[in-house]
Each structure stands twice: as C-alpha cells, then as structure tokens.
C-alpha cells in the first residue's frame, strides 16, 4: 500500500520524483534486501561446482570472497545504469539488477571440477554474451513472437529443475561431504529445515517487508541456529572472527583477474540465454510501469532496459562478475509500496556498490554454513520452477502445444538427467546439450514456428497412453 506521507499520489507514480532522503534511503535498501540472497547465491554455486566452494578445503576458497564481492558491486553498477542511464542505456525506471539464475545451467558445466582455471572461459562468455545481449535491445520488440509463454515458461521451469538438485545437496552437507557419515545427517537437515520453516512462516503469515525478505530472514534464523548448535563459531581458524579479520576493509575490483579465454560453448550458451533474459526483462519493465504508474512501457524504456542488461553483464564479466538481469522481486515491491521513484532504487544501488567494495561484508556471507544456505536455495529454486509453471498457465493447452512441450521437455530434461549419453560428443556440444536448457528451448522455439497445424484428439491419445487430459486450455481469469 502506498505511503502518502512520502508524496502525493501523482508524485509516487512519477519515476523522476525524489522523496526525502530520510525515506528514500531505507526504501532503497528494502529493494536491495529483497534480492540480496538471490544475488550472491550464483557465485557460491559456481564456486562449488568449480571445486573451491564451501567445504572443499581448496586453497582457492578465498576466491569465493572475491566472486561474492563482484556480485554485489556490479549488481549495484548495473542498477545505476537502469536508474540514472547513460545515453540510450537504461530505462530511467526503478529497476533492480542482480545476478541471474538463468545462466547457472550454462555456467555449471563450463567450470565443473576445473577450479579457478575454469573461470577464464566462463568470463569470456559473460563478456561476449553481454555485448550480444545489448545488441538484442535494438530488436527485442520484434522477437517476442518467437518466445511465447510456451517457450519462456518451459525454459524457466527447466532452469529450476536443473538447480533443485543443488539445494538438496547443500542441505545434506554439500558435494564434498558426499560419501561420508556427515552427509545427510540430522544435524545438517535440521539447519536446512529450520530455514525452510521460518521462510514459509514469514511468507504466509507476515506482511510487507517481512514477507518479501522471508528467505533472507530465514537464513539469518538458520545462521543463529548454526551458532547455537556449534556448526560455526566465533573463534578458531575458520570462525567468524578469523574470516572478518582476514578480509580487507576496502578493495577495488581487478580487470581480467581470471584471464580471458574464448570458448565456443560459453559464447553460444550465453548468447542463446541472452534471448530468454531479454524477454524476461521486457516482462519486468512492463510489470513495473503497470504496477507503479498504471501505464504500458514505452519502446525506449524496453530498449534501454535491455541495453543496460547487456552492457552491465559485459562490464561485470571484465572484473569477475556474472550476468545481470532485472529482478522480478522488485516488481512486487513497487506494487506494495506504491513508490515508482527511480531515485529510491538509486539509493539501493549505491548501498550495493559500497557493500561490494568492502570485502568484510562478503567475509561474513561466506561463513554461512552450506546446510543453512541449502534451506534457502531449496525455496528459491523451487520458486523458479513454480514461476515457470505459472507462465505455462497462460498457454493455450491445445494438443499441438502439448506435443511441442512434451518433446522439448523429454529431450531437455532427459539429457540433463543422463549426461553420460553424450560422452562421445565434442566438448562444446556436450556442455551445451547436457545443460538440458538450450536443447529444450531450441526445440520448443523451432517446433512452435514450423508446426502450424492442430492435432486431432486421437493422434495425441496414441502417444499419451490414454493420459492426454481433457482441459480446455487457459486457466479461468477474473
């Protein structure tokens, strides 16, 4: 609900309105807190896949601190591009940028087991993919027809399905603990389940920021529990105090810290995912203007937002950050507060940048036990699946679309679950196909464009074993 003490109803709908700083700053930090956990989680997961994450005992584990730092810093920089704008780059709207989950199924196979050495190819892909993402802004409005809810809903669902395994592994103790007595212990699960229960309780029984920041507050509760039961401690070589004292008070990002390597698999993967991310941004921009200003987004706003997505990602890649995209949590927060001011989000962006320049902030984040993070990740990635299914509810489920969805899902998810089936493929093809995401998306896009004819009920029953369903298509709307 809008707070009229901040400004008049007309001012609150104006992106260029600047509320008093005493209210703008906390409102801006609200926007950041709503996406904070989601923003740093990809860095933790990529580091874990590479082999220097939580519990790995790798001498490169301190590099995780830098990746967390860059996630915060360049989420703030990309957000500033959206709110302040530079020429045509940016929408001049209250759009919060953050590290995208969408690219994780591409990034994980690229770095799997390669340690820090795997990051050069990854960040090479981020830079080139980001530039291509920005180029998409010149024609993003013209490609929306090729990415209907059938395709975008399938892709988002596949992203979530690719990641839910990570949540369970983290909750049980992390990949390095697999095969040990500690893996899956009741102590590990108790920490993860506490996070889940607190998150659910706040989501369903609290309101306002308590509900919106439920995952963050759930992680804080899990962190306190971990301290009480001895999973982490203040003292010792690996305690909170040691982590805090070993981290610098201030540090600037380093360009090409991990080098630059051209990888066909990385470039293709990031390039193709850029299309999906661009369409997601179009949806977020439209949601913000409708929810906050009661109007449709303009062509310039959509184009500028996509430019900021791409250039923000490319800039992040230069310094060791991951691809950025607009965060959907922000849409709901604007609708809740009723404050459309882009300058409010600018305050949040500055807060993120400050956090990114202070490694001590990241040093505290990296002391969060992997099991506690697992509880939050289970909720977040489950919500990604749910968001994809929600998009699919807008699909007209005629028999043609059912068959397209069936083939794309079957091949994409099948390759994801059984990557060994592609062991004889070249490395580039194997990395792209075993993500499951890209083959599913390409199959759905191509079939949707080339299969114009409706199918008969009998032809669907033939391949569905009598379980074709009898729905009429769209869910009922008010």
Per-residue pLDDT of the chain (478 residues; tens, 9 = 90+): 445 567 787 887 888 888 888 888 998 998 888 888 899 999 999 999 999 988 777 889 889 999 999 999 999 999 999 999 999 999 999 999 999 998 999 999 999 999 999 999 999 999 999 999 999 999 987 887 888 889 988 988 998 888 899 999 999 999 889 999 999 999 999 999 999 999 999 989 988 778 888 899 999 999 999 999 999 988 776 688 888 888 889 999 999 999 999 999 999 999 999 988 888 888 888 888 887 777 888 999 999 999 999 999 999 999 999 999 998 767 777 777 778 899 999 999 999 999 999 999 999 998 999 999 999 999 999 988 988 898 898 898 888 999 999 999 999 999 989 999 999 999 888 888 888 888 998 999 999 999 866 665 555 555 555 555 655 555 444 4
The end-to-end CA distance of the chain, in Å, is 22
> What's residue 461's pLDDT?
57
What six digits make up the tokens of 95?
Answer: 């759009």
Stated as kind and residue range, the H or E segment containing 325 is strand 324-326
Three-state secondary structure call for residue 89: strand
SS3 403: helix
Distance CA 434, CA 421 (A): 9
pLDDT at 134: 96
Handedness of CA 412, 416, 420, 422 (dihedral sign): positive
Tokens of 162: 């690719």
Give the integer Cα–Cα distance in Å for 380 and 402: 27
3-state secondary structure of 326: strand
State how far the Cα of 435 lies from the Cα of 442, in Å rounded to an integer: 12
Instruction: Using alpha carbons, select from 379, 380, 389, 443 the residue that is nearest to residue 415.
Output: 443
Residue 96 has phi, psi (to 5 degrees) of: -95, 125
Which pLDDT score is estimated for 103? 93
pLDDT for res 436: 86
Residue 267 DSSP SS3: helix
Neighbours of 456 (CB within 10 A): 10
Cα distances from 307 to residues 285, 314, 326, in angstroms, run 13, 11, 12
- Cα gap 441→225, rounded to integer Å: 41
pLDDT at 187: 96
Residue 416 corresponds to which tokens in the numbers above?
């994801």
pLDDT in the model for residue 387: 84
Classify residue 179 as exposed, middle or buried by CB count within 10 Å of its CB (0-12, 13-18, 19+). Answer: exposed
Select from 164, 24, 99 the least CA-distant residue to 309.
99
Question: Residue 100 in contact with residue 159, Cβ under 8 Å?
Answer: no
Q: For residue 97, what is the enclosing H or E element?
A: strand 97-99
Contacts of 183 (CB under 8 A, 6+ apart): 172, 173, 177
């Amino acid at each position: 609900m809008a707070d009229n003490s901040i400004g008049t109803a007309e001012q609150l709908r104006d992106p260029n309105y600047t509320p008093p700083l005493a209210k703008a700053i906390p409102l801006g930090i609200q926007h950041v807190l709503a996406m904070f956990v989601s923003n740093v989680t990809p860095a933790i997961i990529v580091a874990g896949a590479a082999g220097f994450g939580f519990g790995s005992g790798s001498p490169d584990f301190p590099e995780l601190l830098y990746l967390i730092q860059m996630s915060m810093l360049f989420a703030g920089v990309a957000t500033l591009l959206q709110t302040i704008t530079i020429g045509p780059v940016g929408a001049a709207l209250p759009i919060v940028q953050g590290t995208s989950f969408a690219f994780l199924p591409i990034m994980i196979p690229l770095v799997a087991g390669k340690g820090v050495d795997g990051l050069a190819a990854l960040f090479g892909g981020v830079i080139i993919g980001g530039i291509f993402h920005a180029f998409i802004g010149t024609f993003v409005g013209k490609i929306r027809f090729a990415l209907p809810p059938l395709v975008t809903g399938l892709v988002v669902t596949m992203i979530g399905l690719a990641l839910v395994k990570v949540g369970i592994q983290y909750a049980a103790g992390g990949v390095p603990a697999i095969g040990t007595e500690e893996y899956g212990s009741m102590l590990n699960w108790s920490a993860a389940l506490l996070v889940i229960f607190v998150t659910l309780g706040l989501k369903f029984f609290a309101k306002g920021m308590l509900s919106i920041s439920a995952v963050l507050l759930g992680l804080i509760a899990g962190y306190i529990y971990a301290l009480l039961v001895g999973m982490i401690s203040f003292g010792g070589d690996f305690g909170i105090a040691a982590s805090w004292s070993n981290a610098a008070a201030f540090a600037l990002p380093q360009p090409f810290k991990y080098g630059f390597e051209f990888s066909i698999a990385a470039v293709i993967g990031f390039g193709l995912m850029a299309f999906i991310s661009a369409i997601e941004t179009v949806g977020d921009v439209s949601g913000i203007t409708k929810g906050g200003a009661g109007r449709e987004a303009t062509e310039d706003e959509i184009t500028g937002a996509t430019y900021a997505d791409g250039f923000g990602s490319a800039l992040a890649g230069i310094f060791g950050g991951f691809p950025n995209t607009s965060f959907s949590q922000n849409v709901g927060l604007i609708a809740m507060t009723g404050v459309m001011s882009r300058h409010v989000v600018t305050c949040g962006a500055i807060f993120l940048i400050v956090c990114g320049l202070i490694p001590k902030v990241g040093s505290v984040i990296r002391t969060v036990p992997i099991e506690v993070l697992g509880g939050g990740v289970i909720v977040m990635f489950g919500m990604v699946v749910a968001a994809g299914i929600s998009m699919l509810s807008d699909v007209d489920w005629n028999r043609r679309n059912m068959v397209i969805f069936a083939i794309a899902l079957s091949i994409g998810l099948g390759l994801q679950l059984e990557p060994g089936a592609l062991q004889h493929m070249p490395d580039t093809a194997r990395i792209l196909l075993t993500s499951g995401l890209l083959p599913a998306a390409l199959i759905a896009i191509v079939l949707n464009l080339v299969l114009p004819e409706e199918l008969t009920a009998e032809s669907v029953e033939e391949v569905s074993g009598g379980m074709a369903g009898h729905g009429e298509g769209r869910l009922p709307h008010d």
